[in-house]
């Protein structure tokens, strides 16, 4: 394993530190059900906070296909806050771009922010250098604290380390130091326990271990394949019969390397894998054809515990039986407790890892009593297999990829938000538009005043009377009522003076007519003539113009109004024609 720098070699005060953590924790109904990984990641974050760094946490969560909020890291914010002793953790809706930069720009020394799921961007798993540069913009330094992801060459684990100065976090450091002591520079004798279902999934692991350990203890379904390869019948047990030749090759390799292979000497068998199912212990070689081997036998478990007492180092990966179902957890529990006791007395260095292994040790109640338990899973296995872990190999290298220049400060984003206010000028133009229409409407009556100039003598009084007419305009209906009494006044033609009286009352709207009517009192014909002129109903018509909604009255309303004027004139002219006709003939 290559040498790697730690946090102790970084000057972090006042700097933005991007921390790659593994916060891929189980969540049900929006709540985290196991905070183990969060609690372990808190150590590095606290260290950086205490030294005045601005901590930017990045992580993946699940396997989303694009941006899927069911895989959001937001539910992790609360548990991380509690793991940090109540320190508020800011959350950014994305891990790159303006959303991330805006949140980070508000951090002060000692503050923490978490970015949204890295895997919302497919470039992450492609180890895209362009995406890594976008992540690098978020900080000045990079810390990898996710050993569980170190076996993957992703943008957030490998490429970014080629852009920013980097180091291992406290959790990564503990993992690497523990694994180094277990296999790279271990104290001998070294034992390894490897369990699980299939040989096919751990061929590289087994091939690497036989060259590094003194004793390889095989259990679980994997042991059945090795027993079958040696000619032992295993009944209905899980067994990869097609891997028999591979198993024999591993046995030969172990023999050449001086590694002792330990297989069960007895087994617990049952017809069904059920809680509390009837079971029995049988010697290897006497497994009934209708039974299955579901756990390592008690004699074998005691023998393994005894062998461990002679060892100095133990690496454990995989359970010895179907520990999830009782009573097939007995062998795993017994060996785990024996190893934990040796660890507590300082006689044995114990390192364990792998998903099922951690669960099995927790089931046995000894997860806190081993020297180190890795939650890495795949990374732990690849390390056991002797493979180079990209995330580890990249640490401490001199940046070989130029970092992109920082984007403009997020202040520019702030004015962009109020930019919608620019819609206000649009409102002003809308206000100007109706104002433009209003004067156009007023301009329309102006040309109407021009024709009135042709009747100059009538314009002056008309203008003065037009004002009251406008006031009277709303009261158009009473005008019609006044027309009715005029019809009644028509039969009473003899008392001209009396008629003149009402005419004078009507005259206020027709004063010029009244003046002509005053000198010739006797000749009613003259009065009749003014009546024709008094078609001033035509003058009344302009009073109707406002009634016609000033927009339309231009020319058409005049003709329309003239028409009704003719009708009342015809009614009044009928008696008038008779009267003047007679008088005219006499004259």
DSSP codes, 507-572: GGG-HHHHHHHSS-SS-HHHHHHHHHHTTTHHHHHHHHTGGGTTTS-TTHHHHHHHHHHHHHHHHH
Question: Across residues 66-80, what is the average pLDDT?
Answer: 94
Strands laid side by side in the 141-144 sheet: 89-91, 112-114, 54-58, 16-20, 141-144, 166-168
Domain boundaries, the chain: 1-165+396-417, 182-388, 455-465+504-537+555-581
243: pLDDT strictly greater than 70: yes
Task: Check if the beta carbon of residue 117 is closer than 8 Å to that of residue 99.
Answer: no
Supply the pTM of this predicted model. Answer: 0.65
- Of the two residues 14 and 443, the one the predictor is more confident about is 14
What secondary structure does DSSP assign to 21-90, as a single string?
------EETTEES--HHHHHHHHHHHHHHHTT-EEEEE---S--SSS-GGG-SHHHHHHHHHHTTT--EE
Count the residues in the chain. Answer: 587
Distance CA 448, CA 163 (A): 82
Q: How many CA atoms, within 13 angstroms, populate the side-chain half-sphere of residue 32?
A: 22
20: β partners: 58, 144
Please give the backbone phi and psi of residue 347, each rounded to the nearest 5 degrees, phi first: -90, -20
Asked whether the beta carbons of 129 and 404 are under 8 A apart, the reply is: no
Contact 404, 133 (CB under 8 A): yes
CA pair distance 248, 206, nearest whole angstrom: 12
Structure-token pair, residue 201 = 């999934």
**CATH code reported for the domain at 1-165+396-417:** 3.40.50.1260
Which residue would you say has higher pLDDT here, 382 or 560? 382
| pLDDT value at residue 136 | 96
Burial of 17 from C-beta contacts in 10 A (0-12 / 13-18 / 19+): buried
Largest CA-CA distance found in the chain, in angstroms, rounded: 161
Highest mean pLDDT: which range of 67-81, 353-367, 451-465: 67-81
374 vs 379: CA distance, rounded Å: 9
What SS3 class is residue 352? Answer: strand
Distance CA 518, CA 147 (A): 119
| Segment of 104-113, 420-429, 475-484 carrying the highest mean pLDDT | 104-113
Q: Is the pLDDT of residue 456 over 60?
A: no
Q: Is the peptide bond before 167 cis (omega within 30 degrees of 0)?
A: no
Residues identified as active-site = 37, 198, 355, 378
- Residue 419's pLDDT is 55
Q: Is 91 helix (H, G, I), strand (E, B) or coil?
A: strand
| Alpha carbon distances (Å) from 189 to 176, 216, 259, 314, 340 | 21, 11, 11, 9, 17
Taking residue 75's Cβ as centre, other Cβ atoms within 10 Å add up to 15
The DSSP line for 233-267 is: --TTS---GGGHHHHHHHHHHHHHHTPEEE--SEE
Query: Which residues touch 549 (CB under 8 Å, ≥6 apart)?
Result: none
Question: Beta strand pairing status for 141-144 and 166-168?
Answer: parallel
Confidence of residue 58 (pLDDT cuts 50, 70, 90): very high
For residue 259, give the nearest of 210, 195, 193, 313 by alpha carbon: 210
Instruction: Identify the pLDDT of residue 270.
Output: 94
List, for residues 112-166, the tens digit of each pLDDT value. 999 999 999 999 999 999 999 999 999 999 999 999 899 999 999 999 999 999 9
On the CB side of 162, CA atoms within 13 Å amount to 18
Higher pLDDT, 30 or 216: 216
Q: How do beta strands 112-114 and 54-58 pair?
A: parallel
Spatial distance between the Cα atoms of 540 and 510, rounded to a whole number of angstroms: 9
Query: What is the DSSP-derived secondary structure letter of residue 179?
Result: H
Which has the closest alpha carbon to 320: 366, 373, 364, 270?
A: 364
Confidence at residue 444, expressed as pLDDT on a 0 to 100 scale: 46
**Element holding 502 (H helix, E strand):** helix 496-506
Q: Which CATH class is domain 182-388?
A: alpha beta
Which of the pair, 277 or 60, is modelled with greater confidence? 60
- Higher-confidence residue of 313 and 384: namely 313
Phi, psi at residue 354, to the nearest 5°?
Answer: 110, 145
pLDDT of 462 strictly over 50: no
Q: Do domains 1-165+396-417 and 182-388 have the same CATH topology?
A: yes
Structure confidence at residue 498 (pLDDT): 44
């Amino acid at each position: 394993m290559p040498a790697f720098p730690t946090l102790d070699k970084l000057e972090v005060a006042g700097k933005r530190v991007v921390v790659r953590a593994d916060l891929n924790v189980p969540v049900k109904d929006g709540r985290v059900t196991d905070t183990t990984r969060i609690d372990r990641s808190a150590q590095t974050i606290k260290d950086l906070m205490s030294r005045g760094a601005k901590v930017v946490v990045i992580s993946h969560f699940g396997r989303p296909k694009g941006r899927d909020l069911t895989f959001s890291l937001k539910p992790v914010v609360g548990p991380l806050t509690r793991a940090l002793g109540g320190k508020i953790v800011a959350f950014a809706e994305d891990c790159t771009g303006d959303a991330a930069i805006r949140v980070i720009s508000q951090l002060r020394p000692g503050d923490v922010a978490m970015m949204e799921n890295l895997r919302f961007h497919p470039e992450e798993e492609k180890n895209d250098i362009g995406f890594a540069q976008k992540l690098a913009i978020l900080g000045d330094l990079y810390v990898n604290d996710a050993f569980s992801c170190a076996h993957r060459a992703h943008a957030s684990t490998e490429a970014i380390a080629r852009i920013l100065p980097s180091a291992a976090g406290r959790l990564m450091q503990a993992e690497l130091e523990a694994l180094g002591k277990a296999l790279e520079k271990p104290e001998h004798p070294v034992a390894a326990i490897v369990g699980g279902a299939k040989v096919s999934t751990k061929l590289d692991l087994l091939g690497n271990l036989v060259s590094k350990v003194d004793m390889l203890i095989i259990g679980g379904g994997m042991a059945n394949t090795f027993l079958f390869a040696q000619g032992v019948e295993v009944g209905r047990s899980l067994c990869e019969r097609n891997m028999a030749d591979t198993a024999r090759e591993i046995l030969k390799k172990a023999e050449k390397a001086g590694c002792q292979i330990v297989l069960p000497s007895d087994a617990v068998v049952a017809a069904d894998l059920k809680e509390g199912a009837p079971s029995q212990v049988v010697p290897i070689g006497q497994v009934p054809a209708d039974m299955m081997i579901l756990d390592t036998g008690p004699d074998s478990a005691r023998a393994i515990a005894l062998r461990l007492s002679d060892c100095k180092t133990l690496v454990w990966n995989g359970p010895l039986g179907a520990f999830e179902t009782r009573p097939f957890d007995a062998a795993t529990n017994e060996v785990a407790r024996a190893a934990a006791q040796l660890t507590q007395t300082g006689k044995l260095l114990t390192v364990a890892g792998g998903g099922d292994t951690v669960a099995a040790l927790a089931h046995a109640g000894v997860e806190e009593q081993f020297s180190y338990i890795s939650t890495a899973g795949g990374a732990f296995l690849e390390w056991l297999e002797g493979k180079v872990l990209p995330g580890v190999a990249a640490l401490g290298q001199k940046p070989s990829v130029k970092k992109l220049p920082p984007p403009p400060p997020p202040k520019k984003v702030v004015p962009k938000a109020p930019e919608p206010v620019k819609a206000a000028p649009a409102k002003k133009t809308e206000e100007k538009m109706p104002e433009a229409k209003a004067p156009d409407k007023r301009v329309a009556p102006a040309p109407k005043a021009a024709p009135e100039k042709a009747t100059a003598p009538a314009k002056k009084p008309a203008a003065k009377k037009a004002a009251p007419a406008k006031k009277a305009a709303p009261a158009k209906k009473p005008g019609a009522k006044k027309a009715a009494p005029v019809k009644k006044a028509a039969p009473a033609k003899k008392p001209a003076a009396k008629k003149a009286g009402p005419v004078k009352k009507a005259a206020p709207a027709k004063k010029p007519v009244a003046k002509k009517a005053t000198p010739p009192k006797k000749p009613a014909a003259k009065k009749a003539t003014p009546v024709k002129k008094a078609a001033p109903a035509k003058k009344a018509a302009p009073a109707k113009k406002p009634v016609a909604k000033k927009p339309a009255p231009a020319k058409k309303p005049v003709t329309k109004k003239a028409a009704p004027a003719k009708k009342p004139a015809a009614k009044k002219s009928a008696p008038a024609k008779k009267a003047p006709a007679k008088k005219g003939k006499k004259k």
